Copies of this chain bind each other. A is one copy, B any other.
Amino acid sequence: MSVPTLLVLAADPPPRLGRLTGRAQVVTVDERSLADRLPYADVLLVWDFTSDAVREAWPGEGPRPRWVHTPSAGVDRLLCPELVASDTVLTNARGVFEEPIAEYVAGLVLAMAKDLPGTLELQRQRRWRHREGMRLAGSRATVVGAGPIGRAVAGTLTALGVTTAVVGRTARPGVHGAEDLDPLLARADWVVCAAPLTDATRGMFDARRFGLMQPSARFVNVGRGPLVVEEDLVAALSKRWIAGAALDVFSDEPLAPGSELWDVPGLIVSPHMSGDTVGWRDRLGEQFVELYERWLAGKPLLNVVDKERGYVPMHD
């Protein structure tokens, strides 16, 4: 067998690929040359996982990579009908982002419970103003998204004493089905969105759903921006339908300096960083190398995406 061609969509070379020397013919491409190179690649590593180029460049018929890996949890930027219909295997970075995101969500939730944004603003103004926080233990969270990220978020909130319900597409042990979503939103102090972006979930957090929530509820999105109808969230906050929100993801990233989202009262804006902790690129590189070695050895790949559903199914 000749050395496979590993096409890497990346501006800067990923770490750890040196370990594949002699076992992969690494070709680094940018978005513009991707379409020309794709038919000659055995494997595609979408290192620049925020790019939409793969969906646009994917060949309809004819030669194409047998395996595509994205070092991200979501695969929404990659999926096009031709890729879904093909026999190309798609894998993701399951295992890398779950626990960091769970910590990030816990940090946001505690910051809102204890009004840390208010504290920092008062500090800027050199004003001593005592306020009362709320207890996190005993409050209720509804986590939307029953994949590994949603479950990790639920685990961390549960460890902090929060009564947490997880909602997925279909009911199974420990997971509520979509039919329970609305009543669970209506009684939550915290609504955390960690769902995959699919045709079924796009825009799911809209005026109707924000209207179901309690006036004291806070909403956190660490999934994908288009899960939320952003103007409906802004309206819900300004009308006090809900008490606060934190967005780490947006329909357009990076968020433009002129976006109205930057200064909505009660809204925390962060730059899509919830899963990214020191060393994350190394871990993603290591994970790809391990998968590549499995693939080369003819072993079944891990983290295989169900392309019809748009995520890696859970088997437990």
Contacts and interface: CB of A to CB of B under 8 A. Distances in A.
Interface of A: 99-100, 103-104, 106-108, 110-111, 113-114, 116-117, 119-120, 122-124, 126-137, 156, 159-160, 253-255, 257-259, 262-263, 268-273, 276-278, 280
Contacts of A117: 120
A128 B128 CA distance: 30
B268 A135 contact: no
Contacts of A255: 128
Contacts of A132: 273, 276-278, 280
Contact of A113 (B107, B120, B262): B107
A270 B124 CA distance: 11
Contacts of A277: 132-135
A136 B103 contact: yes
Contacts of A269: 119, 123
Nearest to A272: B130
Nearest to A118: B270
Which among A116, A135, A253, A276 has the highest number of chain B CB atoms within 10 Å?
A116
Contact of A254 (B119, B128, B137): B128
A68 to B, nearest CB: 24
A117 B123 CA distance: 11
A254 B128 CA distance: 6
A128 B271 contact: yes
A137 B103 contact: yes
In order of increasing CB-CB distance, the 9 nearest A-B pairs are A107-B110, A128-B254, A159-B159, A126-B262, A128-B271, A119-B270, A126-B257, A123-B269, A130-B271
Given A116-B111, A120-B120, A270-B119, A160 B276 contact: no
A110 to B, nearest CB: 3
Contacts of A116: 107-108, 111, 116
Contacts of A160: 103, 106, 156, 159-160
